[in-house]
A and B are shown apart, each in its own frame.
Chain A
């Protein structure tokens, strides 16, 4: 079948091809979690950040390291503790006696992929400094503003079980994360496979870059060209708006949420090899994008209602036109 109008359409096959290469590369290390890896890649393509809520030992750090290695990006890890200071993250100016001036020593945030492990163990002050650079993509130390390199992705983790000695992220700050995902425990077969692969050395050491950071930035720019038809955009908006009027929701998703749906829809369409988004792209992303942005009514929480239930209900309620 011959389609006309090819010249005006962005060639997203490169996104699909490279995206698949990245996913395959990460999948060498992270066994059986293709969907999660795809979501992380989506967040990266959409210039968003990822919050992983999961128990220790399921591969959160490895996921971040493997992703960084596959993209050829710098990787830094911050182990958040209550005594961590903002300067420990952003960097600090130290007096250099030889040069007789203060020299800026960059902190771990000055990398392309940053893993903030157990972010809820850091104090709110430290958290806010990290979240600020996530939103602004720049840091300001000693009155001097320094831009962060591109691509820039923060993967933060938190433990859903232990709450003692933690400072849970305020919901307003959770909104800054593009998606919230969970890796989950591997199956029996996957766990066996992990043991076989890790018998001698860790495969993350041998992960090679399949794309350069510069090329990846080009891909990020390319997905912005993906066409989102009006009804698809309206669907994303309706979904977000509906969270605000839901009876079980105290605080619905912000416009940042609908924007994330929009951008994520574009990225997912490109990863699927389409230069146009469809309602299914929005539906696919509704849970990871909207789930963590909702604050439920206390009585609804007592009834056992979760954000997942609300999003599921909205997906069932809001109709998609077939015309």
Chain B
């Protein structure tokens, strides 16, 4: 270019003299950072209640953010050494530390003591000015890059008004950082919004008891979110206007003086109207009350996905024989079970395909890396067929393995859904237990087998069913260990089942009755255990709430 230093400084001054760049955008960036830090403080009150962040620290962090935006521009344009930027950060942190110390934080140790490294409250508080400085620094950098890139692509940008595309497609030399700046605001804005939603959902779902103790938490959080939305969107609008301003300036397009002001006012008006509309819609869907919105959406989703799995109660009297009522459930349950089974099956296929895709993608990337090198070194091309062969072999092996896995899982899921369909799985009625050639089991033997199968079905519904490879004896021992109070009865019933299932033994009516007695004792005990477990769970949950109350 060969520009003289004076003209460069003039240009630099011209670029910085715009009110958007000089005042509005730094203020909006500082406001955005302050809103984000306020939201962070709100969530820290819930997730990390042991640490108390003073409210004034948020205001201080806002000031630090504003300071950081300005100084970043100076650093970049003056090309200051990195050490100077580091020193600035240290000075900011020291300033924040001294203020914190003199306002009551860290009373237990001296100002120059290193004990603050172990003080979580101090560390948590120090995070805020540090985050403000770092966040704002990113915005400051991007403002500078935006000005530069707008100047670089001025002509084409003026013609097309699409300087993002120009910066990417034209022959102008645009650095990676500058190109990156194009989507900087959108990405950050969406990311913080997502984090905010997730944190809110976790806070509502997991720390409801703590939220009850913070009366103004919802209001403050909603205001902070509102501030975040407003400053974020205004920043977007300002950035767009700013780059147009730079382009107009560079190309020499004369515009009316009041146009930028009109733009800003109309943007502000539009955003305010939009937010007002959002606030005025029913509260459950308003960003003004993010917590309730997330809670409501969660509950709607939950209700929508609540299939009410048909899990038939195990009858206290094990029905044996041709009892039609136990063979099938009602039609609605059947349909729902089929839908659920189909859903899980489709999900398993989807997951399999996803894993397959990821696996193939990884293999492809590795091979592309190999091929690229081989292509560069021409002599290595002879090895390509070997690589192709190995790739194909591996790929088919992976596909085969995944296919087998999918078939096995799918079969298992279908079996499970079939199990759900019948209230009494594998009932001993004719057609229930398949008659084996050469042997016809006696009625008492079938009855004992049915009792055991009922027990297995009951436990399976409560998540302690047998594994596919588990034998009756192993399973009996397993559940005997799980329910030690009924261990003896479970073992006796298991022994009787083994006799009924695998031996030629014929049972008397007394044995049948004895098995029924054992079954009754076991079932009574299991039901009692389940109830106790439920009661303990609910007590534990209540206890958690009480403990939190006491702690607070």
Contacts and interface: CB of A to CB of B under 8 A. Distances in A.
Given A230-B439, A320-B469, A277 B502 contact: yes
B436 A8 contact: no
A230 B466 CA distance: 21
A92 B510 CA distance: 66
Interface string B464-475: 001011111111
A168 B472 CA distance: 41
B504 A322 contact: no
Contacts of B510: 1-2
Interface residues of A, number: 28
A2 B502 contact: no
Contact of A230 (B437, B472, B496): B437
A226 B551 CA distance: 68
Nearest to A234: B436
Nearest to B509: A2
B470 A275 contact: no
A28 to B, nearest CB: 30
B479 to A, nearest CB: 12
A318 B468 CA distance: 8
Interface in B489-527: 496, 498-499, 501-508, 510-511, 514
Interface in B423-457: 426, 433-434, 436-439, 449, 452-453, 456
Contacts of B472: 278-279, 320, 322
Interface string B212-256: 000000000000000000000000000000000000000000000
Given A1-B511, A3-B511, A316-B469, A323 B506 contact: no
A231 B436 CA distance: 9
Interface string A276-298: 11111001000000000000000
B473 A278 contact: yes
Interface in A266-280: 274-280
Contact of A275 (B496, B503, B506): B503
A9 interface: yes
A232 interface: yes
A291 B533 CA distance: 44
Contacts of B508: 1-4
Contacts of A277: 502
Contact of A229 (B434, B473, B501): B501
Contacts of A283: 471
A84 interface: no
A98 interface: no
Specify which of B456, B468, B510 lies most central, judged by the most chain A CB atoms within 10 Å of its CB: B468
A5 interface: yes
Contact of B502 (A4, A229, A317): A229
B469 A276 contact: no
Contacts of A279: 471-472
A279 B499 CA distance: 12
A38 to B, nearest CB: 17
A9 B474 CA distance: 25
A230 B502 CA distance: 8
Nearest to B501: A229
Contacts of B452: 322
Contacts of A317: 469
B82 to A, nearest CB: 51
Given A3-B507, A5-B504, A277-B502, A323 B471 contact: no
Given A2-B510, A3-B511, A279-B471, A322 B466 contact: yes
A287 to B, nearest CB: 15
A193 B112 CA distance: 67
B503 A322 contact: no
Contacts, number: 83
Specify which of A231, A232, A279 lies most central, judged by the most chain B CB atoms within 10 Å of its CB: A279
B514 A1 contact: yes
A315 interface: yes
A319 interface: yes
B433 A323 contact: yes
Interface in A295-323: 315-320, 322-323
Contact of A227 (B434, B456, B470, B504): B504
B470 A320 contact: yes
Contacts of B439: 229-230
Given A231-B436, A323-B453, A276 B471 contact: no
A247 to B, nearest CB: 9
A227 B501 CA distance: 12
Contact of B471 (A1, A229, A274, A278): A278
Contact of B475 (A3, A278, A315, A322): A322
Contacts of A227: 502-504
Contacts of A320: 468-472
Given A279-B471, A319-B469, A9 B453 contact: no
Interface string A1-44: 11111001100000000000000000000000000000000000
Contacts of B437: 230
A274 B503 CA distance: 9
A45 B508 CA distance: 33
A201 B498 CA distance: 47
A274 B426 CA distance: 27
A321 B81 CA distance: 75
Nearest to A275: B503
Contact of A280 (B434, B468, B474, B505): B474
B498 A278 contact: yes
Nearest to A1: B511
Contacts of B506: 3-5
A5 B434 CA distance: 23
A323 B475 CA distance: 13
14 contacts: A1-B514, A2-B510, A3-B505, A5-B504, A9-B504, A227-B502, A229-B501, A229-B502, A232-B502, A276-B498, A280-B474, A320-B468, A322-B453, A323-B453
Given A276-B499, A280-B473, A320-B468, 11 more contacts: A1-B496, A3-B507, A3-B511, A4-B505, A230-B437, A230-B439, A278-B502, A317-B469, A320-B469, A322-B452, A323-B449
Interface of B: 426, 433-434, 436-439, 449, 452-453, 456, 466, 468-475, 496, 498-499, 501-508, 510-511, 514
**A-B interface, 5 closest residue pairs, ranked by CB to CB distance from nearest:** A276-B503, A319-B468, A5-B506, A4-B506, A229-B502
